[in-house]
């Protein structure tokens, strides 16, 4: 297998030279109504599939990529804080485009647009299903028809999440860099959280920047909430049970030294939950500005907690925080506004996707609407990590 142009640094994916993606835990929204952005409650730990050749299923090794543990009906969002240069990022859920609703092609398209524009798009919480709204990503098993993949294509064979990043072409990139140098010489860029506009810090979506500082060095938690420490990477070359390396180590390096034949793991994908106010921004660049070939791509496998424990020998993160307790404690929800950004038209296909409650039963967890004072407005060389291998998907 060839390298995919993706590297793992801690719990972040670096795609090519410009884009960075983190998978963030969050509160699951009710499936009725439209809500503000929920908080970030920490990063999902990432591990390279290739580091566990004796315990991951053979088809996962063939696809390569990375894996993360997620509970049934747990919600997540993708953070692009730390992205350094303009990138056209494709996001697939079960190889269905989360922006256009079309099947994965691996090529950029404008009619309809099938990618996000980074760093203008600071994060993505769900599928582009409504005008100025998205429906939240929620993890569900394959085989029930509840995933976006199942509802759009009529089959559930891929699962997981797929990412592919296209940088600017050589001329457009040189022009952008010169514009950035000139902007730096003539005026300071507007600031968001201490960084230039459009370059939000890791975990800086709702709750990722909380109480004036980061919890756990970017781990991202709302103030007052108990947050587990980031999971440590396994020791390089160590067998299961070997002492863990510090959480700041540049990616997991363990190669297991033999053991039982890998077992099949429950296949997981993404369905949708509640609706929230979030725009998916339209690309205002010329199509020819983007490179014709991607700089990086990666398959992200979603793993149940029991399978994660068996494959990695590590404990998964604790179960998600209860949203009623969070709101009752007076902790913040968020509203993001970008006066210069133009919302992309919603996908008619994705607008028809139904929440997972239609398959798994109604969500009966209590819900308390946050008070107006709880809605917080948002808006206007690192050490190399370990490369991730690509495969056939």
- Residue 158 has which token pair? 């891929």
pLDDT > 90 fraction of the chain, expressed in percent and rounded: 50
Please report, for residues 272, 332, 365, 367, 382, the alpha-carbon distance to residue 29 in angstroms, rounded to integers and kept in the order given: 10, 14, 10, 9, 35
pLDDT over 60 (residue 227): no
pLDDT over 70 (residue 232): no
Would you state the pLDDT for residue 6? 94
Asked whether the beta carbons of 300 and 68 are under 8 A apart, the reply is yes
Would you state the pLDDT for residue 200? 45
pLDDT over 50 (residue 109): yes
Strands 268-277, 34-35: pairing kind: parallel
Please tell me which residue, 210 or 56, carries the higher pLDDT value.
Answer: 56
Q: 20 forms bridges with which residues in the sheet?
A: 14
Rounded distance between C-alpha atoms, residue 54 and residue 48, angstroms: 13
Helix (H, G, I), strand (E, B) or coil at 62: helix
Would you state the pLDDT for residue 314? 95
pLDDT in tens, 292-336: 999 999 999 999 999 999 999 999 998 876 666 666 656 555 565
pLDDT in tens, 239-292: 333 333 333 333 322 223 344 446 667 789 999 999 999 999 999 999 999 999
pLDDT in tens, 58-108: 999 999 999 999 999 999 999 999 999 999 999 999 999 999 999 998 899
Q: What angle do CA 200, 221, 267 make, to 5 degrees?
A: 90
Exposure pattern of 359-380 as b/e (b: 16+ CB <10 Å)?
Answer: bbeebeeeeeebeeebebebee
Rounded distance between C-alpha atoms, residue 61 and residue 52, angstroms: 9
Would you state the pLDDT for residue 183? 86
Q: What is the mean pLDDT of residues 121-150?
A: 93
Strands 87-93, 12-15: pairing kind: unpaired
Q: What is the mean pLDDT of residues 37-46?
A: 90
User: Which runs of consecutive H residues, i.e. helices, occur in the chain?
Assistant: 58-63, 148-153, 170-186, 305-312, 323-328, 348-351, 357-360
Helix (H, G, I), strand (E, B) or coil at 374: helix
């Amino acid at each position: 297998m060839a390298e995919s142009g993706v590297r793992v640094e801690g719990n972040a994916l670096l795609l090519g030279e410009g884009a960075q993606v983190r998978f963030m835990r969050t509160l699951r929204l009710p499936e009725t109504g439209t809500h503000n952005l929920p908080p970030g409650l920490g990063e999902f730990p990432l591990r390279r599939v290739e580091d566990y050749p004796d315990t991951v299923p053979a088809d996962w090794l063939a696809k390569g990529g990375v894996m993360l543990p997620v509970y049934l009906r747990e919600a997540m969002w993708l953070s692009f804080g730390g992205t350094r240069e303009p990138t056209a990022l494709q996001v697939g859920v079960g190889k269905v485009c989360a922006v256009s609703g079309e099947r994965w092609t691996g090529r950029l398209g404008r009619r309809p647009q099938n990618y996000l524009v980074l760093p203008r798009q600071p994060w993505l919480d769900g599928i582009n299903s409504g005008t100025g709204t998205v429906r939240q990503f929620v993890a569900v098993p394959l085989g029930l028809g509840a995933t976006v993949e199942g509802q759009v294509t009529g089959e559930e064979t891929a699962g997981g999440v797929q990412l592919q990043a296209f940088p600017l072409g050589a001329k457009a990139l040189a022009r952008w860099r010169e514009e950035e140098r000139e902007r730096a010489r003539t005026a300071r860029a507007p600031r968001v959280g201490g960084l230039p506009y459009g370059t939000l810090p890791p975990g800086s979506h709702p709750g990722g920047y909380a109480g004036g500082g980061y919890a756990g060095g970017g781990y991202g938690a709302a103030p007052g909430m108990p947050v587990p420490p980031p999971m440590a990477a396994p020791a390089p070359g160590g067998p299961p049970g070997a002492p863990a390396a510090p959480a700041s180590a540049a990616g997991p390096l363990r190669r297991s030294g033999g053991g039982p034949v890998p077992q099949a793991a429950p296949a997981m994908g993404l369905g949708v939950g509640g609706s929230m106010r979030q725009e998916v921004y339209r690309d205002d660049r010329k199509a020819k500005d983007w490179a014709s070939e991607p700089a990086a791509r990666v398959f992200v496998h979603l793993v149940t907690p029991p399978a994660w424990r068996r494959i990695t020998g590590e404990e998964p993160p604790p179960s998600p925080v209860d949203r009623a307790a969070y709101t009752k404690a007076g902790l913040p929800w968020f509203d993001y506004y970008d006066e210069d950004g133009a919302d992309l038209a919603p996908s008619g296909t994705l607008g028809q996707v139904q929440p997972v409650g239609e398959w798994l039963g109604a969500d009966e967890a209590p819900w308390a609407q946050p008070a107006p004072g709880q809605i917080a407005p948002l808006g206007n060389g690192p050490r190399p990590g370990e490369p991730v291998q690509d495969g056939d998907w």
